[in-house]
């Protein structure tokens, strides 16, 4: 079923807008123009729909536990958020975490990025995969599947690695503790990847999945816009892996590096690995040239 923005926005019904401009500023990604109007028109209807799904799933789990004579808490409702680099999926995931936590029947919402399951740079270099960072083989897929499966099985707490975009690497010794949430959002470019024969994929544990989509040329432009802004801000930090991009390389050379990185790595990954998983999503958010969601396609069953 496909709806334009106006029809989708009407499905918000009476869902209240709890976010302020200050809240939104903390949730938006670099150069992401998402506004409170977008939150009201796009993300509030989505949070309402997901709340209905969570409630129905909780009721089903309660019936099964009653049948089995069990009294423990239900497993987390797990949502996957996928899409290209620079398309805005991280902003979508953070907005959903904030909005879903406002509903009284599932206040504990955790967000995990699959970047935390990238192999450390030393491992990628040893395997000749640094130019394939972000491709499926650059992730510790066994650890990611094990984490999600243990969460689904009801684990009380799991500590996972932490990836730093500043360092462009896994941070040694640092951990993110995930405490048995009501809802777990797993965000990443390849979360909808199918498994090879005889194996499980992380998407096999999702109760709902969202794909953020846009034209390839638009995503490329957003990627380059973000690179320019990062060169002006985050890359100027001496601790940044890309500090040299802001200090020792001319702007035109830095932009050529970014364009080449998009052309030879990110676009290839998008076309070969990420976009082919779009059809596996329960819901697709289509963005227009201005980075705003224009259409929504959802699977009704």
Annotated binding-site residue? 88: yes
Q: For residue 208, give Cα distances in angstroms to 22, 63, 227, 263.
A: 29, 20, 31, 31
Annotated binding-site residue? 56: no
Angle at 246 between CA 243 and CA 249, to 5 degrees: 105
C-alpha torsion angle, residues 101, 103, 108, 110 (rounded to 10): -40
Smallest Cα–Cα separation from 222: which of 232, 234, 230? 230
Q: For residue 159, give Cα distances in angstroms to 146, 183, 202.
A: 12, 17, 17
Annotated binding-site residue? 85: yes
Annotated binding-site residue? 86: yes
Annotated binding-site residue? 215: no
What is d(CA 42, CA 9) in angstroms, rounded to the nearest whole number? 6
Annotated binding-site residue? 83: yes
132 in Cβ contact with 138 (< 8 Å): yes
Task: Count the helices and strands in the chain (H runs, E runs).
Answer: 11, 9
182 in Cβ contact with 108 (< 8 Å): yes
Annotated binding-site residue? 128: no
Annotated binding-site residue? 240: no
Feature table: binding site for ATP: 83-90
Q: Which residues are annotated as a binding site?
A: 83-90
């Amino acid at each position: 079923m496909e709806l334009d923005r106006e029809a989708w926005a009407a499905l918000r019904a009476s869902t209240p807008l709890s976010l302020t401009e200050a809240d939104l500023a903390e949730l938006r990604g670099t150069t992401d123009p998402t506004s409170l109007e977008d939150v009201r028109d796009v993300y509030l209807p989505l949070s309402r729909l997901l709340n209905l799904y969570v409630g129905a799933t909780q009721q089903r789990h309660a019936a099964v536990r009653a049948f089995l004579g069990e009294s423990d808490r239900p497993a987390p409702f797990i949502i996957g958020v996928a899409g290209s680099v620079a398309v805005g999926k991280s902003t979508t995931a953070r907005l959903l975490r904030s909005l879903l936590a406002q509903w009284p029947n599932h206040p504990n919402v955790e967000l995990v990025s699959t970047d935390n399951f990238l192999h450390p740079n030393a491992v990628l270099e040893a395997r000749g995969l640094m130019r394939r960072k972000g491709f499926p083989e650059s992730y510790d897929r066994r650890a990611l599947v094990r984490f999600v499966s243990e969460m689904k099985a009801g684990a009380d707490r799991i500590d996972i690695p932490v990836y730093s975009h500043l360092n462009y690497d896994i941070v040694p010794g640092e951990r993110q503790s995930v405490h048995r949430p009501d809802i777990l959002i797993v965000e990443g470019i390849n979360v909808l990847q199918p498994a090879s024969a005889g194996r499980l994929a992380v998407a096999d544990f999702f109760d709902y999945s969202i794909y953020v989509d846009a034209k390839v040329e638009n995503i490329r432009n957003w990627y380059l816009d973000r690179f320019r802004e990062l060169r002006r801000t985050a890359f100027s930090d001496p601790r940044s892996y890309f500090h040299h991009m802001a200090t020792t390389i001319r702007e035109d050379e830095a932009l050529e590096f970014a364009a080449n990185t998009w052309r030879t790595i990110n676009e290839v990954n998008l076309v070969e690995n990420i976009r082919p998983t779009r059809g596996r999503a329960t819901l697709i958010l289509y963005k227009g040239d201005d980075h705003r969601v224009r259409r929504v396609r959802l699977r009704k069953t």
